[in-house]
Amino acid sequence: MMPRADVETAVADAHCRGWALVLAATVRVARDLDLAEECVQEAYVAALASWARDGIPSNPAAWLTTAAKRRAMDAVRREQTFRSKLPLLVESEETEDKVAIDEPAAVEPEDVVPDERLRLIFMCCHPALAQETQLALTLRLVCGVTTADIARAFLVSEPTMAARMTRAKKKISAARIPFRLPEAAELPDRLRAVLGVIHLLFTTGHTAPSGASLVRTDLVYQSLRLTRLLGELMPDEREVRGLLALLLVTDARRATRVDSDGRLLRLEDQDRSLWDRPAMAEAHDLIVDGLRGRRPGRYVLQAAIASLYAEAPSYDKTDWPQIVTLYDELLSVWPSPVVALNRTVAVSMVSGPAQALEVVAELEKDGRLARYQYLPAVKADLLHRLGRSQEAATAYRQALELTGNDVERAFLAERLAGPHRA
């Protein structure tokens, strides 16, 4: 018998690394999202007992995939048997839509999207679902992000997000939305949602919404890999290249975001000589290409802003006026309150913290960022710079209440304990 702790660690690692791939393979058999998820969950539960008894397999993902697919096959066979015995309750159109277990689905040209995980993302980003629902459902099922972390990303409570995803899966089932790979001609219609999923996946990895580590490197690597694959699949899409540039230039600072003791370092305190210069150079070329010609899109502009921060010789020598200009352009193509908040940092460097604070006050009245921890954090920094220490302390406490990441919480607590030293 294997030690229980070793088995639990192996199952947890297999869940982190292989959940999406196991689910993708199972969906192709089950042809139903809920059923596939249920079969995969059962496979992971079965692994706890089987691996303790027989040992951890050399390829855990393959073992889990086989176990989940067998459960799905059994479930579909039972359903087909049930339907065959109750022909009067089954519409002929439904029967025609059934896909036999032992036959590949003719509508799945695997050469169109060869990567299993990317294929599943395109499947989940079905236009019949609201885009926010597409993003949330895909992050949960394909990327394995917890419901709590997805809720933080969408600035809603965990029960609210759980209810949304439940309704989405019910809609898929009730409307008989075909869970298949879209044809090549359909891919561009789903690209916006797919880009949104990958960007949120990176954001969740770049700064983990909860936990002890600032970064989840597995999600960062996964998002970079998916973006490169998407670029190979759709090489003429500027926004795909823009997203890749944004991820590269943002991740280039990873090694300097915390000090040797694990403390969060502000951008102005980071050692720029340690940033990933090859990644920044690749991003720069992609940005220059993306800014040529027609009006640039959301990801190209975000990448251009991030690149200006990164390429400045020092924080004080950042081209703040140009960053404000790019933020204005970004707001015109993507009028997001988060973008408006990020813009206030550059505004404070150009026009002073008082003017930036006025924008923050308007965003507070708007209400959409009520659960966003960076709103009170930015407000606290601006108040501190204006010498309004008591108000800054109150804002830091608000940010602490909303923050789930331990590294960020420690940073905010330090600022709260002595903002005059920050």
For the stretch 3-49, pLDDT in tens is 888 889 999 888 877 887 788 788 878 877 778 888 999 999 999 99
pLDDT at 87 over 70: no
Residues 6+ apart with CB under 8 A from 294: none
Choose one of 212, 236, 252: the last residue of a domain: 212
pLDDT at 152 over 90: no
**Same domain for 149 and 69:** no
**Same domain for 156 and 75:** no
**Same domain for 61 and 141:** no
Determine the pLDDT at residue 178. 61
389 assigned to some structural domain: yes
pLDDT at 199 over 90: yes
Determine the pLDDT at residue 106. 39
Residue 99 backbone phi and psi in degrees, to 5: -110, 125
36 assigned to some structural domain: yes
**Same domain for 386 and 415:** yes
CB 118 within 8 A of CB 23: no
pLDDT digits (tens, 9 = 90+) for 408-419: 999 999 999 874
Determine the pLDDT at residue 95. 39
Determine the pLDDT at residue 134. 83
Q: Which residue has the higher pLDDT, 159 or 78?
A: 159
Range of the domain at 61: 4-96
**Same domain for 178 and 122:** yes
Q: Looking at 11-20, 52-61, 99-108, 369-378, which range is the least confident one?
A: 99-108
The mean per-residue pLDDT over the stretch 54-76 comes to: 92
Choose one of 184, 212, 240: the last residue of a domain: 212
Per-residue confidence at 139, pLDDT binned at 50, 70, 90? Answer: confident
CB 218 within 8 A of CB 145: no
Determine the pLDDT at residue 307. 97
The mean per-residue pLDDT over the stretch 167-181 comes to: 70
Determine the pLDDT at residue 43. 94
Per-residue confidence at 109, pLDDT binned at 50, 70, 90? Answer: very low
**Same domain for 149 and 67:** no
The owner of tokens 């940092």 is: 345
221 assigned to some structural domain: no
227 assigned to some structural domain: no
Q: Which residue has the higher pLDDT, 281 or 6?
A: 281
**Same domain for 121 and 90:** no
pLDDT at 330 over 50: yes
pLDDT digits (tens, 9 = 90+) for 332-366: 999 999 999 999 999 999 999 999 999 999 999 99
Distance CA 412, CA 418 (A): 10
**Same domain for 14 and 82:** yes
Per-residue confidence at 181, pLDDT binned at 50, 70, 90? Answer: low
Distances (CA, A) of 239 to 14, 18, 196, 227, 337: 33, 28, 11, 10, 21
305 assigned to some structural domain: no
Residue 19's domain is classified under what CATH number?
1.10.1740
Distance CA 257, CA 285 (A): 24
Distances (CA, A) of 13 to 8, 9, 10, 23, 138: 9, 6, 5, 15, 20
**Same domain for 88 and 126:** no
178 assigned to some structural domain: yes
pLDDT at 329 over 90: yes
Distance CA 353, CA 344 (A): 8
Quote the number of domains for the chain: 3
**Same domain for 132 and 88:** no
192 assigned to some structural domain: yes
Distance CA 417, CA 422 (A): 10
Determine the pLDDT at residue 137. 83
**Same domain for 206 and 120:** yes
Determine the pLDDT at residue 105. 39
Determine the pLDDT at residue 167. 83
Determine the pLDDT at residue 375. 97
Choose one of 212, 243, 269: the last residue of a domain: 212
222 assigned to some structural domain: no
The mean per-residue pLDDT over the stretch 254-268 comes to: 95
**Same domain for 208 and 121:** yes
